[in-house]
Amino acid sequence: MNAAATAPEATDSTPPAAPRIPGAALRELAMPLMLAAIWILFAVLSPQFLSARNLSMLLIELSFTAALAVGVLLVLLPGHTDLSVGAGAGLTGGIASVLVFRYGWPAPAALLLSLAVGLVLYWGMGWFIVRNRIQAFIVTLGAMLAFRGAFWLVIGSVTTPVARGGETNLYSLLTTYYLPPAAGLLLAAGVVAVLGWLTWRTRQRRLAADAAAESAEGTFLRIFIAAQGVLLTVLVCNQYRGVPLAFLMLCAVALAVHVMTRHMPFGRYLYAIGGNEEAAVVSGIPTQRVVTTAFLILGGIVAVTGFMATAYAGASTTTVGDLMELDAIAACVIGGTSLKGGRGTVLGALFGALIMASLLNGMTLLSVLPETKFIVRGLVLVFAVWMDVKLRRR
C-alpha cells in the first residue's frame, strides 16, 4: 500500500492526463468566443444589430428559446429527451388564447388553467415513460404529433389573438410589458447585492469547513464581471423601453432550474440517473419518481414558454411552436449537454440558446432567405458540437 501511495494509480488503468488546464480553459471559453464572433460579424454587417431596440427584441426572443432549453435540460440530464415541447408550447398557448378570445375568460384564469393542462400532460407522459420503460424519444415523438393535432383542433386552425380587439391583458403583456427604468436599475442593484452576499457566504462556509475555496481575488473578479453584465443588460434595455417582462420570466425559470440542479438532492439524482441508472437505483434513489418530477416541471416550463411565444406572435397561429423543440435541444447540446444524460448545465443551455437566438435574430435583420437561415443554423449546431467534442478529447 505504501507502494501504491507513491506510484500514481491512474497510470495503471487509464492513459493519464496530459496537463488538462489549457484544454479545459479553452473549452470553457469556446462558447463565449463563438458568441462574440457571431455578434461581431452581425454588428459589422448591420449597424442596427447592437441597437438598444434590437437587443431588447433579441432578449425577448431569447426568453422563450432559452426557457424551453432549460426545461428540456431537466429531462436530458437523466438520459431522456422530449420532442414534444414545441407542439406542447403551441397547445398550451392555444388553450389560453381560445379561453380569452372566444370564451372571454380573464387572462390570469386562462393562463392558470392552461398551465395546469401543461403540468398534467407532461406528468402523465413522464409517468408513462418510466412505468412502461418505453424510450422517451418514441413517446414524445407520438406526443409531438398528437399535441400538434390537438392544438389545431383547439384553435380550429384559425388565428386566435391573445386579447380581444386591441385590449391589453396579462397574456398580451407577457412580451410587451417593460419594467420602468428606475425599477430596472433597482432590480439590478438588488440582484448584484444578493449575488455578492451568496457568493461571499458560500466562500466563508467552505473555508469554515476546510474545503477548497477559490482565492478572494477570483471571487471578487467573478462577482465584478457578473455585476457588470447585469448592469450593462439593464442599461441597454433602459435605452429602449426597459427590461422586458419576458426576460425576467426567463431569469426566474433559469434561476429555479439552476438551484434545483445544483443545490437540491433532486438535481444530484438527475445527474446520477443519467450517468449510471443502475448505480442510482442501488444508491436508493427513487429513479421513477425523480424522472416523473422532471417531466412535471418541464410541463410547467412548456406552458410558460407557450404563453410567451404566443404573446410574442400576438395570436395563436398554426405555426406557433414549430421546431422549437429542436432549437431547445440544440441549445442544450451546444451548451455541452450530453444526450446520453449525466452531463450539462443551465448556464451552458442559456449560452447555447443565446447563440441560436442571436443567429436567427441577426440573419432576420440582414433579410437572409429563410432557406439559408435553416442551413446556417444546422451547420452552426454541428460545428459547435464538433468543437466541443474536439476540445473534450484533448
Partner 1 sequence: MALLEARQLTKRFPGVVALDGVSFDLQPGEVHALCGENGAGKSTLIKTLSGIHPAGTYEGEIRVDDRVARFESLQDAETAGIAVIYQELALVDEMSVAENIFLGHEPRRGPWVDWNTAHAEAARLLERFKIQLDPETPVRALGVGQKQLVEIVKALGKQSRILILDEPTAALAEAEVEILLRILRDLRTQGVGCIYISHKLGEVMSIADRITVLRDGASIVTTAARETDIPGVIRHMVGREIKDLFPRDRSAPVGEALLSVKDLTVAPSPGAPPRLREISFEVRAGQVLGIGGLMGAGRSETLLHLFGAWGTRVSGEVRLNGQPYPDPSPGHSIRHGLVMVTDDRKRYGLHLDQPIGYNLSLSSLDRVTRRGLVNEAAESQLDREFFDALRVKAPGLETPVGGLSGGNQQKVVIGKALMTGPRVVFLDEPTRGIDVGAKLEVYQLINRLTAEGRAVVLVSSELPELMGMSDRIVMLHEGAVGGTFQPEDFQQETLMAAAMGRRAADA
Using an 8 Å Cβ cutoff, are 301 and 71 in contact?
yes
Cβ of residue 276: shortest distance to partner 1, in angstroms?
5
Name the minimum Å distance from CB 254 to partner 1: 17
Q: How far apart are CA 345 and CA 328, in angstroms?
A: 14
Smaller CB separation from partner 1, 96 or 346: 346
Select 131 or 206, whichever has its Cβ closest to partner 1.
206
Judged on CB neighbours under 10 Å (0-12, 13-18, 19+), 38 is middle
Q: CB 44 → partner 1: shortest distance, Å? A: 40
- Nearer to partner 1 (CB atom), residue 244 or residue 341: 341
In the bound complex, what is the minimum distance in angstroms from residue 100's beta carbon to partner 1? 35
Among 250, 307, 258, 254, CA closest to 88: 307
Nearer to partner 1 (CB atom), residue 85 or residue 257: 257
Q: How far is the CB of 19 from partner 1 (least distance, A)?
A: 6
Nearer residue to partner 1 within complex by CB, 57 or 291: 291
| Residue 6 vs 132, nearer CB to partner 1 | 6
Residue type, 218: G
Residue 328 C-beta: closest distance to partner 1, Å: 24
CA distance 353 to 333: 10
Nearer to partner 1, 3 or 44 (CB): 3
Compute the least distance from the CB of residue 338 to partner 1, in Å.
9
Using DSSP's 3-state secondary structure scheme, residue 19 falls into coil
To partner 1, the closest distance from the beta carbon of 72 in angstroms equals 21
Contacts of 366 (CB under 8 A, 6+ apart): 42, 45, 46
| Dihedral sign computed on CA atoms, order 68, 372, 57, 174 | negative
What dihedral angle (degrees, nearest 10) is formed by the CA atoms of 35, 36, 39, 40?
Answer: -150
Burial of 77-87, coded b for 16+ CB within 10 Å and e otherwise, reads bbbbbbbbbbb
Alpha-helix residue ranges (DSSP H) falling in 264-323: 265-275, 277-282, 287-313
Residue placing its CB nearer to partner 1 in the complex, 44 or 282: 282
The contact set with partner 1 (CB under 8 A) reads 1-19, 202, 205-206, 208-212, 259, 263-265, 268, 271-272, 275-276, 278-286, 342-343
Give phi and psi for 161, each to the nearest 5.
-65, 160
